[in-house]
Amino acid sequence: MPTKTETQYHHLEPRPGSNYRQLFLKGRRIRAAVVDEAIHGPDPFTPEEFASEYQVPLEAVREALEYVAQNRPLIEQERDHEAARLRARGLGGPTQG
């Protein structure tokens, strides 16, 4: 029975004490999902622009994008949990209903 080998990342790491299980850029408080959102969001950066703007290696940006693509269920779960937390605090904008 084959076992799943865990991908080794050079530019990503867990953040001890964080409420997030997803990985962060090493030495930064930037979640992998934030990189993905900045590049695929409504006012997108290119990976090169993100790397320059946040002074991180381009390879770290690419690694974060790959990580998010491979861990989409976790990213979406954490995004939904954060949105629910904000709504509960009255900070999530208008509610649907």
Of 64, 24, 26, whose CA–CA distance to 45 is shortest? 64
Task: Tell me the per-residue pLDDT of 45-82, one tens digit each, with 9 for 90 and over.
Answer: 999 999 999 999 999 999 999 999 999 999 999 999 99
Residue 97: pLDDT band (50, 70, 90) is very low
Percent of residues, the chain, with pLDDT higher than 70: 89
* Every domain of the chain and the residues it spans: 12-88
**Whole-number Å distance between alpha carbons of 19 and 59:** 25
Residues 6+ apart with CB under 8 A from 48: 58
- Kindly tell me if the per-residue pLDDT of 95 is higher than 60: no
